[in-house]
């Protein structure tokens, strides 16, 4: 199904065109978006296998569809929403059944229409991430699973995700300007928002395996595994069930 146009108001259009410009890199294991694939694999561990025929997973800000193969492997029909037209085309080539071009702060779906909603590495790119979480909870069915992962609004996250990640020229490093620390997400407000909308989130930290990072940088590995950490101060994931 072709990507549908919808509201694109007041979004940083330069940011979206960045993703259009990077669309050929979504699936390059040594490209600028490679770490998103590692995180997608880690996210999949928190998505239960589909419990009914026709179960549907919505991937908010699906980008080039890195979560598509995981959604399919778990038995879901996968729907993606994003503003980057070229990325949505990639998503359709990688397991997504349907993509919709829309602003994630105003999802064009009915209440309680999805069994699972994922939002990976998206909240830290939007001016109002809490509105996105409210929307994610709204479209989730009672008993459904929400999985979000993003970057915390801490100094250490700013150092790790911008100062280091965007400036050290190793394979897989994001281009300069990918992140704006002012958009990093407040964990307390995130959990409070989800709770208000019926989802009690459990937070945990994620980080890449350092030894594998070194081997990846040397060209000896094509993928780095993520591990869970006690600290949610940098990259963290939240998951919960809708009441």
Ligand X SMILES: C[S@@+](CC[C@H](N)C(=O)[O-])C[C@H]1O[C@@H](n2cnc3c(N)ncnc32)[C@H](O)[C@@H]1O
145-154 CB burial, b ≥16 within 10 A, e <16: bbbbbbbbbb
Tokens of 71: 């959604």
The nearest distance, CB 183 to ligand X, in angstroms, is 10
Site for ligand X in 109-168 (CB under 6 A): 120-122, 125-126
Task: Give the nearest distance from C-beta 15 to ligand X in angstroms.
Answer: 6
Number of residues that bind ligand X (CB under 6 A): 21
What's the start-to-end Cα distance of the chain, in Å? 32
Q: Which among 48-56, 79-87, 192-200, 207-215 is the span making contact with ligand X, rule CB under 6 A? A: 79-87
Cα 173 from chain centroid?
A: 17
d(CA 233, CA 150): 10
Q: How far apart are CA 167 and CA 174, in angstroms?
A: 8
Whether the Cβ atoms of residue 177 and residue 193 lie closer than 8 Å to each other: no
SS3 assignment, position 83 = coil
Q: Which of 3, 19, 76, 79 binds ligand X (CB under 6 A)?
A: 19
Shortest reach from residue 190's CB to ligand X, in Å? 16
Of 167, 148, 166, nearest to 104 (Cα)? 148
**What is the nearest approach in angstroms of ligand X to the Cβ of residue 129?**
10
Q: Nearer Cβ to ligand X, position 39 or 213?
A: 39
Instruction: Tell which one of 66, 140, 151, 213 touches ligand X (CB under 6 A).
Output: 66
Residue with Cβ nearer ligand X (1 or 180): 180
How many CA atoms lie within 13 Å of 143's alpha carbon, on the beta-carbon side?
4
- Binding residues among 94-113 for ligand X as defined by CB under 6 A: 103-105
DSSP state of 18: H
Shortest Å distance, C-beta 65 to ligand X? 8
**Nearest to ligand X of 23, 194 (CB atom):** 23
Closest CA to 200 of 151, 150, 133: 133
| Interface residue with ligand X, options 71, 83, 151, 226 (CB under 6 A) | 83
Tracing tokens 């980057």 back to the chain, one arrives at 84
Q: Of 11 and 165, which CB lies nearer to ligand X in the complex structure?
A: 11
Q: What residue ranges bind ligand X (CB under 6 A)?
A: 11, 16, 19, 36, 40, 61-63, 66, 82-84, 87, 103-105, 120-122, 125-126
């Amino acid at each position: 199904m072709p990507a549908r146009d919808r509201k694109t108001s007041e979004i940083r259009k330069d940011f979206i065109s960045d993703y259009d410009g990077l669309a050929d890199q979504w699936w390059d294991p040594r490209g600028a978006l490679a770490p998103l694939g590692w995180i997608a694999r880690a996210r999949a561990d928190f998505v239960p296998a589909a419990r009914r025929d026709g179960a549907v997973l919505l991937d908010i800000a699906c980008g080039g569809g890195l979560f598509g193969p995981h959604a399919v492997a778990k038995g879901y029909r996968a729907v993606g929403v994003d503003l980057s037209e070229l990325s949505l085309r990639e998503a359709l080539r990688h397991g997504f059944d349907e993509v919709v071009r829309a602003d994630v702060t105003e999802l064009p779906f009915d209440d309680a229409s999805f069994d699972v909603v994922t939002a990976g590495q998206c909240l830290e790119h939007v001016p109002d991430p809490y509105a996105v979480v409210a929307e994610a909870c709204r479209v989730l069915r009672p008993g459904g699973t929400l999985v979000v992962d993003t970057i915390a609004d801490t100094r250490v996250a700013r150092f790790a995700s911008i100062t280091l990640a965007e400036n050290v020229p190793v394979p897989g490093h994001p281009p300069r300007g990918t992140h704006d620390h002012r958009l990093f997400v407040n964990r307390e407000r995130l959990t409070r928002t989800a709770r208000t909308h019926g989802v009690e989130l459990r937070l945990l930290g994620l980080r890449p395996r350092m030894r594998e990072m070194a081997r990846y940088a040397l060209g000896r590995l094509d993928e780095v595994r993520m591990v869970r950490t006690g600290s949610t101060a940098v990259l963290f994931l939240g998951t919960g069930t809708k009441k």
